[in-house]
Structure 1
Amino acid sequence: MANAFPHGTVHRAREDLQAALRTDEKVFALWESLTPLGRNEFICWVDDAKQAKTRQRRIERTCEELLEGKKRPCCWAGCIHRTDKAPSRWQQAVLIDGKRKKGRKPA
């Protein structure tokens, strides 16, 4: 299957991210060389954007970071949607801080 797109372990890349990655053969080859977990982290980071403008900026940054040799998005706590492992302490801290910022008390 020559047109199959390699997704992550939990997340599937949406059409806009797929299109951006396929635009440059070198970027797409780097994407294909990532582990499914590495791809998953980038997809989760892009999908986490609240605004379309931020999402587009993250898609562009994904392509740049791949060309820079990165295997995971810079400054990202990691995907919290995986069910094969518990969130790390850092992820838990980010989640708790996010709840506090929204005016909620931690559980």
Structure 2
Amino acid sequence: MKRKLSGGLVHELPNDLVDALTDSTEVINRWENLTPIARNEFICWVEDAKQDKTRIRRIKRTVEELLEGQKRPCCWAGCIHRTDKKPGKWQQAVLIDKKSST
């Protein structure tokens, strides 16, 4: 049932996330019905994981949240890689400043 899925606005869809998303037609349909920006948020959230176990957990949670009807990852400040808008103050403080201090 594996097929080509749409990526995000900035991020390409990684293979491990494709594998999880293509396990059911319902998940595929929910993914494809998201906007490119919303898909991008999920991809960025997964890609931002620093440990493999966190990445695996986020991929699993992505599928769960899609099945729950979520359109964006829960508790995610948003993708800082987008060039079509500047990061908000919260993103700057939490995501950008935190990374530069580590």
TM-score, length of structure 2 as denominator length: 0.91
Deviations 1:54-102 (A, max 9, x none): 10100000000001111000000000000111001110111224444x3
User: 1:83 maps to what in 2?
Assistant: 83
- Equivalent position amino acid for 1:40 in 2: N
RMSD: 1.1
When normalised by structure 1's length, the TM-score is: 0.87
Percent identity between the aligned chains?
Answer: 61
Equivalent residue for 1:63? 63
Structure 1 gaps of 5+ residues are 103-107
- One-letter code of the match for 2:35? T
